[in-house]
A = this chain, B = another copy of it.
Amino acid sequence: MAASPAAALAPAGLELRFAILDIYAAYAACLDEQRYNEWPDFFVDDCIYRVQPRENFDRGLPLATLAFESKGMLRDRVYAITQTLFHAPYYQRHIISGIALQAQRADGYDVTASYLVLRTKQNEPTEVFNTGRYVDVLEWQDGELKFRSKLAIFDSELIANSLIYPI
């Protein structure tokens, strides 16, 4: 049975689906629990991370609110938000749904999802902060799924200047 390609692929397929669900859950928990130092480890070294308004993405315009092109740049961002940026702290809460395996490449997977990030400032009620779509590429690295590319394409342009923590 184990030697049958079809039988071997089927469970792998379902386990892959859960592995994909799991990385999104872990990614969200990392950010929401403010373990920012662990955030870059969800990415491969030569990664892409962009947070971009939907209008620009749909028109192919390059302008992005955040744009990083390596794990080192992600680490710089973590240093900035934890050590140097002056800002009122807030909690984030990621709600991610519709995680869909769009295509399987030779070296990875195209995955999309919808996200909602809620924000809670100190002594204020929780509010809708940002919604949009993740357009991601994942790949295996040493037995773990990592993001090669992660785009957070958001629906409203009105969040740009107050975005401190990663989406």
Contacts and interface: CB of A to CB of B under 8 A. Distances in A.
Interface string A132-147: 1100000000000000
A97 B95 contact: yes
Interface in A104-143: 112-114, 116, 118, 120, 123-128, 130-133
Interface string A1-40: 1100001001100110110001011101100110000000
B125 A120 contact: no
A65 interface: no
A61 interface: no
A100 interface: yes
Nearest to A130: B126
A75 interface: no
A91 interface: yes
Contacts of A131: 93, 95, 118, 120, 126
Given A97-B96, A125-B158, A116 B116 contact: yes
Interface residues of A, number: 48
A55 B6 CA distance: 49
Interface of A: 1-2, 7, 10-11, 14-15, 17-18, 22, 24-26, 28-29, 32-33, 54, 91, 93-100, 112-114, 116, 118, 120, 123-128, 130-133, 155-159
B120 A156 contact: yes
Contact of A11 (B10, B22, B29): B10
Contact of A100 (B1, B29, B97, B128): B29
B54 A91 contact: yes
